[in-house]
Structure 1
Amino acid sequence: MSLSIDIREEFGVRTLHFGSEWIQGAMRIARPWNLELDYTKEMMTSLLFREETRFPRKVLLIGLGAASLTKFLYRNQPLAKLTVVEIEPAVVAAARQFFKLPEDPKRLKIVIGDGAEFVANSDQTYDLILVDGFDANARAGALDTLPFYQVVRAHLSEEGIMAVNLLGHSRGYKSSVERIHSAFDGRVLAFPSCDSGNAIAFAVAGEPVCISIDDLKEQAVILKKETGLNLLATLTRLEQAQTCKGGMLEI
């Protein structure tokens, strides 16, 4: 059965749907390089955690959607080589036609295939792995399993970071976080869920991440100046949720 792609526009925002009301990606037409959806912004908090991965050189994105994360990194991380794995050719075609996905084979490699299989068969390591893959029924399938998270960990560089978009609409995301917890030996932190029901979990390899909220905010100010992305509200929400004991983010 082929995937039903639906493109809509409202109030200057173009959205991608897989034959349902569920938004699979969005782009503000006047600012195509900016991140529109809150959860995509939160996934970029990973750029603040470590000095070594402030400018990741090798990035793997699983799930293309409207290419928001891909375009943001392409524009703002000029030294990064990006690999995007998307299982549906129609999504890639839609991203090119409607969401300004750039064509630059030297810096941006698009792979049509299964994300879990790609990682399992890869001989590469990555500084940043972003997981955001769902079907029309908002199911992540193999991308939310213990074996997958174990394979992702094995393909992170020494200071590598994984950020994964989890959904908490139906069953909640606690079981997903537990799977990541097992795969990464407890090195995981889930942010409080957004209003949309998305929750972003981060997991790391190598040395522990230990940074104060104040230092994160300083880094966020620099990131905002460089890219226009404002993560200060995210960090305030994290602080208010008391996720970081003693004002320290530790993973």
Structure 2
Amino acid sequence: MPLVRFFRKAPPWATTATALVLALAAAWHAPAGLARGAAFQVPGQLELDEVSNYSHVKVTRDRGTRTLWFVRDNGEHVVESKLDLDRPDDLLIEYTRFMFLSYVFRPEPKKVLIVGLGGGSMVHFLKIHDPEVKVDVVEIDPLIVSIADRYFGVKTGGNVDVKVTDGFAYLRESEAKYDVIYMDAFLRPSGGTDITGVPLHLKTLAFYEQIKKRLNPDGAVVFNLNPHLAVQQDIRTIREAFPNTYVFRLQGYDGFVVVASTAAERMSPTAVSAAAARLDNAGRFKAPFSFRAMAGRLSRR
């Protein structure tokens, strides 16, 4: 989930047009991921506005694009998923594209797990571009599962199995093994989450040990990390848990995608770039983005 935030109140000196520009600019560039600025009306037609035990969510449609929003207690609206209804595999949000750098490290996955469903854009991409891969999804909120089905066309069927359960409990109790695990779980921020909404029990060494038990040899886990004051500590914890960690800084805002691998040998930046270039040159995904360009965002630290 990207940290694109919009607050309810505009500064007294801002016109409506100026306020909207400020909100958009702040959402992408504000320090520590905090957007300040504008009165914001979610664009498009409001199709759903519901509250569950875990989240307050809205769904809007603007022409051929449908958006899933998380609404915070202070009135912030956070974009969780965007879907092009004509091209559901076209990843409209930057971090979702970076999540598939997993193919640099595990190019032929047979079975993957996604923790956190949202609008299911990653599921659409896998179904279309890697139709042989088995995709398990775990999502704690039944409302999100229902919304993904009704509004975003994602549900159990074929190679996809969506389960309503807590990610920690699933990884502790399941005997399934995966080549890649994608961590993208967010809830309404509360005492049980960090400031971005990640459940605290999903960012501990104990949880990462559960992940490692569910990975096949040379497996990888991919984390979507929203910007916040403790994000570098989150990265350090991941580095402590896994033998090889690769940190990619996003371009659109100050978030990170982190790939952690259980492989015995670490890939050099040159090897990462070469593997990404092979994905581009093979035309396997026919994707409107470059794996090599994303690999160029690898942190050297």
Runs of 4+ in 1 over 4 A off after TM superposition: none
Q: Does 1:46 align with 2:94?
A: no
Unpaired stretches in structure 2, ≥5 consecutive residues: 1-51, 190-195
Q: Deviations over 1:53-99 (max 9, x none)?
A: 31211101100011011111122112211110000111111111111
Q: Given that residues 65 and 95 in structure 1 are in contact (C-alpha distance below 8 angstroms), is that contact kept between their aligned partners in structure 2?
A: yes
Q: Does 1:27 align with 2:79?
A: no
Say if 1:147 and 1:8 are closer, same or farther in 2 by CA, change over 3 A: same
SS across alignment from 2:202: helix
Q: Does 1:164 align with 2:242?
A: no
Aligned to 1:221: 280
Q: Deviations over 1:182-229 (max 9, x none)?
A: 2114x2121124423321111111332425254134223146553324
Larger radius of gyration, structure 1 or 2? 2
Aligned to 1:148: 207
Of 187-196 and 23-32, more deviation after overlay is shown by: 187-196
Identity of matched residues, %: 25
Aligned to 2:172: 120
Separation in 1, partners of 2:250, 2:166: 27
Aligned to 1:94: 147
Separation in 1, partners of 2:272, 2:113: 27
Q: Given that residues 28 and 34 in structure 1 are in contact (C-alpha distance below 8 angstroms), is that contact kept between their aligned partners in structure 2?
A: yes
Of 221-230 and 29-38, more deviation after overlay is shown by: 221-230
Q: Structure 1 length normalisation: TM-score?
A: 0.85
Aligned to 1:67: 120
What letter is aligned with 2:239? H
Q: Deviations over 1:130-156 (max 9, x none)?
A: 000001233111222221112111211
Say if 1:214 and 1:118 are closer, same or farther in 2 by CA, change over 3 A: closer
Q: Structure 2 length normalisation: TM-score?
A: 0.72
Q: How many residues align?
A: 235
SS across alignment from 2:88: coil
Q: Given that residues 182 and 221 in structure 2 are in contact (C-alpha distance below 8 angstroms), is that contact kept between their aligned partners in structure 1?
A: yes
Unpaired stretches in structure 1, ≥5 consecutive residues: 246-251
Backbone CA RMSD of aligned residues: 2.1
